Structure 1
Amino acid sequence: MAGRLSRAEIEELKAIVVSGNLTAAAAKLQEKLESLENTPLDIAITGESGAGKSSLVNAIRGLHDDDEGAAKTGVKQTTMKRKAYPHPRFPNVTIWDLPGIGTPNFQADNYLNRVQFNNYDFFIIVTATRFTSYHTTLARAIHRLGKRFYYVRSKVDIDLKAEQRKRNFNRERTLQEIREDCVEKLRKAGEASPRVFLLSNWELDNYDFQLLKKTLKNELDDQKRHVFILAMPNISAKILENKKAELQKHIWEVALLSCAIGVLPVPGLSLICDVAILVFHMKRYCLAFGLDEESLTRLAEQVDKPVAELKSAIRNSPLASAIKKEFVLSLLSRSLCGALMVVELILDFVPSLGSLAGGGISFVTTYYMLQRFLNDAAEDAQNILTKALEPRAEESI
Structure 2
Amino acid sequence: MDKPFENEKVETFKKMLQTDGAAATAAKIQSYLKEQNDIPVNIGITGESGSGKSTFVNAFRGVDNKDESAAPTGCVETTAEVKAYPHPNYPNVTLWDLPGIGTTNFPAHQYLKHVGFERFDFFIIISADRFRENDVKLAKEIQKMEKKFYFVRSKIDNNMRDEERSHKDFNAEKTLQRIKQNCVQGLEKEGFKSPQVFLMSSVDLHLYDFHLLEETLERELPEHKRHALLMALPNVNLGIINKKKEALQANIPLIALTSALIAAVPVPLLSCAVDVLMLVKATTEYKVTFGLDIESLQNLALSAGVPLEDLRAVMESPLALEEINYDLIYNMLNVPMFKASTPEQKVATFLSYIPIIGIPAAMSLSFESTSKALNHFLNMLAEDAQRVFRKALGLNTSV
TM value normalised by structure 1: 0.90
- d(CA) in 1 for partners of 2:371, 2:6: 20
What is the match of residue 299 of structure 2? 298
- d(CA) in 2 for partners of 1:153, 1:357: 59
- d(CA) in 2 for partners of 1:375, 1:216: 26
How far the C-alpha of 1:8 sits from its partner, in A, is 8.3
AA at the equivalent of 2:111? Y
Aligned positions of 1:299-378 closer than 5 A = 299-319=300-320, 322-339=323-340, 347=351, 349-378=353-382
What is the match of residue 239 of structure 1? 240
What is the match of residue 384 of structure 2? 380
How far the C-alpha of 1:67 sits from its partner, in A, is 2.9
How far the C-alpha of 1:221 sits from its partner, in A, is 2.5
How far the C-alpha of 1:310 sits from its partner, in A, is 1.8
What is the match of residue 108 of structure 2? 108
> Once the two structures are superposed, what CA deviation does each residue of 1:180-209 show, in whole Å capped at 9, x if it has no partner?
111111122221221111111111111111
- d(CA) in 1 for partners of 2:261, 2:140: 49
What is the match of residue 215 of structure 2? 214
What is the match of residue 90 of structure 1? 90
Q: Please say if 1:138 is aligned against 2:142.
A: no
- d(CA) in 2 for partners of 1:72, 1:276: 39
Aligned positions of 1:34-183 closer than 5 A = 34-102=34-102, 105-164=105-164, 165-183=166-184
Residue 102 of structure 2 aligns to a residue whose secondary structure is: coil
Deviates more, 1:381-390 or 1:22-31: 381-390
- d(CA) in 2 for partners of 1:271, 1:8: 27
AA at the equivalent of 1:374? L
What is the match of residue 394 of structure 1? none
What is the match of residue 395 of structure 1? none
* 1:222 to 1:317, Cα distance in 2 relative to 1, 3 A: farther
After TM superposition, where is structure 1 displaced by more than 6 Å over at least 4 residues in a row? 4-8, 340-346
Residue 101 of structure 2 aligns to a residue whose secondary structure is: coil
> Once the two structures are superposed, what CA deviation does each residue of 1:110-166 show, in whole Å capped at 9, x if it has no partner?
111111112222110111111234223222322333321111111122222222111
Q: Please say if 1:189 is aligned against 2:193.
A: no
Residue 318 of structure 1 aligns to a residue whose secondary structure is: helix
- d(CA) in 2 for partners of 1:293, 1:333: 26
Question: How many residues are matched?
Answer: 388
* 1:364 to 1:182, Cα distance in 2 relative to 1, 3 A: same
Contact 2:155 2:202 survives alignment (8 Å): yes
- d(CA) in 2 for partners of 1:7, 1:342: 27
Residue 63 of structure 2 aligns to a residue whose secondary structure is: coil
AA at the equivalent of 1:180? Q
Residue 273 of structure 1 aligns to a residue whose secondary structure is: helix
Contact 2:9 2:254 survives alignment (8 Å): no
CA RMSD of aligned residues (A): 2.6
Residue 322 of structure 1 aligns to a residue whose secondary structure is: coil
- d(CA) in 1 for partners of 2:386, 2:232: 16
TM value normalised by structure 2: 0.89
What is the match of residue 227 of structure 1? 228
* 1:63 to 1:9, Cα distance in 2 relative to 1, 3 A: closer
- d(CA) in 2 for partners of 1:311, 1:7: 35
How far the C-alpha of 1:65 sits from its partner, in A, is 1.9
Q: Please say if 1:32 is aligned against 2:32.
A: yes
Residue 149 of structure 2 aligns to a residue whose secondary structure is: strand
Residue 37 of structure 2 aligns to a residue whose secondary structure is: helix
AA at the equivalent of 1:140? K
> Once the two structures are superposed, what CA deviation does each residue of 1:61-113 show, in whole Å capped at 9, x if it has no partner?
11232233211111111001111112122222211100001359541221111
> Once the two structures are superposed, what CA deviation does each residue of 1:310-361 show, in whole Å capped at 9, x if it has no partner?
2111112334861111111111111443448998786455233221111111
Residue 96 of structure 2 aligns to a residue whose secondary structure is: strand
Contact 1:132 1:189 survives alignment (8 Å): no
Identity %: 43
- d(CA) in 1 for partners of 2:103, 2:191: 19
